[in-house]
A and B are shown apart, each in its own frame.
Chain A
Amino acid sequence: MTPATTNIAVVQFPGSNCDQDAFQLFASGLGLATRYVWHKDTRLGEADLVVLPGGFSYGDYLRCGAIARFSPVMGAVREHAQRGGLVLGICNGFQILCEAGLLPGALIRNSSLEYRCMTCELRVEDAGPAFNPGALGARIRLPIGHGEGNYRIDEAGRAALEANRQVILRYCDNPNGSFDDIAGVRSEGGNVFGMMPHPDRAFERFHPSQDGLSVARAVLAAGSAEFARKSA
């Protein structure tokens, strides 16, 4: 994919508050055609990558992401994912993707019961041709800001994650009690990504790092790899 043909759609739910950060990551950070899609829209339009941003969709009522999962737009997001289209969920977006069953596992309250807002060092796992230490570096630094980032998955799910190399990022110093230090995962198909850390808060000069750019590029490169694999 080249910049001229790559379209990014950032979904806005009621209560999203990192939608503009995510927009800027792709629009100004990578210079890609980026637009917003309202949660009531039932179509995404032309989109290579759909981003579900951070925030507190529907006030985090019931469970984080539980209500957003039934937003009208999620039908289109699911179809896009099932066609092999790229999806990236950041923070609350990750919670929504887990609730929707597009990613395995679930996120519960931090073991400390505290909201954690800090910059984390993360270990990049080898999760395929696009997302690996060679492309991103062995360690990256990204900010987190969440109260429910404690990743949980059952034993069978864990075995599948390991067998398919679906863990993309692990915390070097676990801030939330997450199982196996897991900070981010991808789908088995390799086109849906979710992470609690914020690449959208790590690309400007005044941000704690600029590692968000390489994460965004890796996600887009996964699309190219997926496309190459399917058309091969």
Chain B
Amino acid sequence: MKIKVFVTPKRNVLDPQGVAVGHALESLGLSGLRGTRVGKVVELEVEAADTPQLRAQLDKLCRDLLSNPVIEDYHYEIAAS
């Protein structure tokens, strides 16, 4: 199955990259822009079943490696492949 992990800067943490991209979007004519946050997507392909154990393991990996809880939030989507 395929797992997509989304990592984004926390709402209350400054995102310099998001601010710069937001300015560029506005200069290209986008009006009414209220906010821009730049994060990353990590795609995994795993041979496993979607079980509570797997999700617990995924949460730990997201907290330990894929995101830094001090500055980032994460969530993931699981799709059968």
CA distance A66 to B70 in the complex (A): 13
Q: Which residues of B sit under 8 angstroms from A153, Cβ to Cβ?
A: 70
Q: Which residues of A sit under 8 angstroms from B71, Cβ to Cβ?
A: 106, 108, 152
What's the interface size class on B, roughly? 10 to 19
Known contacts A66-B65, A70-B65; is-contact A113 B16 (Cβ 8 Å): yes
Q: Is the CB of B68 within 8 A of A63?
A: yes
CA distance A92 to B54 in the complex (A): 33
Residue of A98, A105, A109 touching B17 (CB-CB under 8 A): A109
Q: Which residues of B sit under 8 angstroms from A75, Cβ to Cβ?
A: none
Known contacts A62-B65, A152-B13, A177-B14; is-contact A106 B70 (Cβ 8 Å): yes
A10 to chain B, nearest CB (A): 25
Chain A CB within 8 A of B1 CB: no
Q: Is the CB of A108 within 8 A of B65?
A: no
Known contacts A66-B65, A70-B65; is-contact A111 B14 (Cβ 8 Å): yes
Q: Is the CB of A113 within 8 A of B17?
A: yes
Q: Is the CB of B68 within 8 A of A109?
A: no
Q: Is the CB of B16 within 8 A of A66?
A: no
DSSP class of A's interface residues: helix, strand, loop or mixed? loop
A36 to chain B, nearest CB (A): 26
CA distance A62 to B67 in the complex (A): 8
A3 to chain B, nearest CB (A): 38
CB nearest neighbor in A for B20: A113
CA distance A105 to B15 in the complex (A): 15
Q: Which residues of A sit under 8 angstroms from B68, Cβ to Cβ?
A: 63, 66, 99, 106
Q: Which residues of B sit under 8 angstroms from A112, Cβ to Cβ?
A: 16
CB nearest neighbor in B for A70: B65
CA distance A112 to B19 in the complex (A): 10
A157 to chain B, nearest CB (A): 8
Residue of B14, B20, B65 touching A150 (CB-CB under 8 A): B14
Which 4 residue pairs are nearest across A and B when measured between Cβ atoms? A106-B70, A106-B71, A109-B16, A111-B16
Interchain Cβ contacts under 8 Å between A and B, 17 examples: A62-B66, A63-B68, A98-B70, A106-B68, A106-B70, A106-B71, A108-B14, A109-B16, A109-B17, A113-B16, A150-B14, A150-B16, A152-B14, A152-B70, A152-B71, A154-B12, A177-B16
Task: Report B's interface with A, CB cutoff 8 A.
Answer: 9, 12-17, 20, 65-66, 68, 70-71
